[in-house]
């Protein structure tokens, strides 16, 4: 089974993705983690995107599309993918559809974690203390939220009419969100 989990920064996508990975033996595809890895390793891509990420802007569609291509076509990970933080734009969503079609796969579940701004600010401040991410300060959080709303709203419109789309209240306790997702995936 392949799953998409999406929602604004701080919605708990990564936390929920990790939980599902453990329970259902899936492979987490986090473009945020992949991009941070590029920055850490100071690759050509990494040097280009370092400032973009720190400022709370999005990497280009070309860069992220390229990063996930090999993963989608990896036979060991076929039908075991959970996308966390991808797609984030309509063009990425269309690209993902194409890649999945070309590799004989489909998306089985789409979860949208809907969270209000106050919860996000609270969660990201907490994460900043735990993970020391360069993009977790209040100005950047708000910028990332606005960028998300602008660019990702079309992704929500793209998926929300589908039969396998589930909106989850992301303001609830993390364990409660996990329980709901697990229940849907176990049917
Ligand atoms: P995340 O770990 O998902 O919160 O992502 C951290 C940052 O990486 C984002 O604020 C963006 O700058 C960048 N990023 C992650 N995923 C994408 C994507 N699918 N498209 C563009 N930029 C991305």
What backbone phi and psi angles, to 5 degrees, belong to 101? -60, -45
- What tokens were used for 93? 């969503």
Tens of pLDDT, residues 126-158: 877 777 777 777 788 788 888 888 888 899 999
Task: Band the pLDDT of 62: cuts 50, 70, 90.
Answer: very high
Give me the pLDDT at residue 76, please. 96
7 in contact with ligand 1, CB cutoff 6 A: no
Pair of tokens at residue 61: 């569609």
**Model pTM greater than 0.85?**
yes
Tokens coding 136: 């977790």
The contacts found for 115-118 with CB under 8 angstroms, 24 or more apart, are 115/7, 115/8, 115/10, 115/11, 115/12, 115/170, 115/171, 116/171, 117/145
Pairwise CA distance, residues 182 & 179, whole Å: 5
CB crowding 27-66: b at 16 or more within 10 Å, else e: ebbbbbebbbebbeeeeebbeebbebbeebbbbebebbbe
Residue 150: per-residue pLDDT: 83
| For ligand 1, mutation pick of 35, 55, 82, 154 (most atoms within 8 Å of CB) | 35
Q: Domain ranges in the chain?
A: 3-177
Whole-number percent of the chain with pLDDT over 90? 68
Atom of ligand 1 nearest to the CA of 92: 19
**Residue 128 parent element (H or E):** helix 117-131
Q: Which atom of ligand 1 is nearest to the CA of 135?
A: 10
Coarse DSSP helix, strand, coil percentages of the chain, rounded to the nearest 5 percent: 60, 10, 25
Q: Which CATH number applies to 3-177: 3.40.1390.10, 3.30.365.10, 3.40.50.880, 3.40.50.300?
A: 3.40.50.300
1: its two tokens: 């089974």
């Amino acid at each position: 089974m392949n799953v998409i989990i999406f929602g604004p920064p701080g919605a708990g996508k990564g936390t929920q993705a990790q939980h599902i990975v453990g329970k259902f033996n899936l492979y987490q595809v986090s473009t945020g983690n992949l991009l941070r890895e590029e920055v850490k390793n100071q690759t050509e891509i990494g040097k280009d995107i370092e400032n973009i990420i720190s400022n709370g802007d999005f990497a280009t569609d070309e860069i992220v599309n390229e990063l996930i291509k090999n993963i989608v076509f990896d036979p060991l990970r076929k039908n075991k993918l959970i996308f966390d933080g991808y797609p984030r734009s309509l063009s990425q969503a269309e690209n993902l559809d194409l890649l999945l079609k070309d590799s004989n796969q489909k998306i089985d579940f789409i979860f949208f974690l809907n969270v209000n701004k106050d919860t996000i600010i609270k969660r990201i401040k907490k994460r900043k203390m735990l993970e020391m991410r360069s993009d977790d300060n209040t100005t950047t959080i708000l910028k990332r939220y606005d960028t998300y709303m602008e660019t990702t709203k079309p992704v929500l419109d793209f998926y929300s009419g589908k039969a396998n789309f589930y909106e989850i209240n992301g303001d609830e306790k993390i364990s409660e969100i996990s329980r709901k997702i697990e229940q849907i995936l176990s049917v």
